[in-house]
Amino acid sequence: MIDIRPAAERGLTKLPWLTSYHSFAFNDYYDPAHESFGMLRVLNDDTVAPGQGFGTHSHRDMEIVTYVLDGVLEHRDSTGGRGVIESGEVQRMTAGTGVAHSEQNASATAPVHFLQVWFLPNRRGLTPGYEQKRFALEQRRNVLLPVASPAKDGPGVFLNQDVTMYTSRLVAGREVTHAPAPGRGAYVFVVEGAARVNGVKLGTGDAAKITGESQVTISADRDTELVLFDVRLA
């Protein structure tokens, strides 16, 4: 089964410095039909104005993945850590027992566009920590590249949960396939472009929740940036 989540039906937080689209319930946006998908709890598509950002705030017991699509994002945290996440980079933060951090657009002239994704961890009370990796465009062109997973020796950042996040940059006319194992599902989100998921059309900001399918084929009608989440459903 393929359940389409149109871009226009997502939640929206609109502030002078922030445009944030919510695929799942988040903060003041609540939709009982879209609270989570397996252990995937939050998928926010954020654009932050130059020199602006999120002040210091706290999280706990969550695996938080930030994927910068365009621009530069600076983070600071309560452990004294400080750094930047550039376009093509993925950062995993294990909030665990609790961490306070801030996220700011590091550019004074250009916006920063990124996805922030939250997964419920496999257990509570983990030690807070960070990991960050960079992925070149060539690595994800016309393939599904795992950028976050529970595989400690995999190419992506490590997640304390049985989920895998893939990214892909599909050239028009190309396709990729994914075969969810029994008891697992896939969530496909189109960052930009136009694609078909098992023949069903998706555009920029659209998503597809996929269950009960032995194979997922994604074909690009035009150049398309997308992410796919493989999750355990029970």
The CATH number fitting domain 2-232, selected from 3.40.50.300, 2.40.50.420, 2.60.120.10, 3.40.50.720? 2.60.120.10
| Beta strand segments in the chain, E | 2-5, 11-15, 18-22, 40-48, 53-59, 63-70, 72-77, 82-86, 89-94, 99-105, 112-119, 129-134, 145-149, 157-158, 163-170, 175-178, 184-197, 200-203, 207-210, 216-232
- 83 pLDDT band, cuts 50/70/90, is confident
The Cβ of residue 153 has, within 10 Å, a number of other Cβ atoms equal to 5
Residue with token string 């994604």: 218
Amino acid in the structure at residue 149:
S
Q: Given this model, what pLDDT does residue 77 score?
A: 81
pLDDT confidence bin for 79, thresholds 50/70/90: confident
Whole-number average pLDDT of the chain: 95
pTM, entire model:
0.96
pLDDT, residue 76, reads: 87
pLDDT digits (tens, 9 = 90+) for 19-34: 999 999 998 999 898 9
**Cα pseudo-dihedral 230, 88, 44, 66, rounded to 10:** 80
Q: What is the pLDDT of residues 93-117, one digit of tens each?
A: 999 999 998 999 999 999 999 999 9
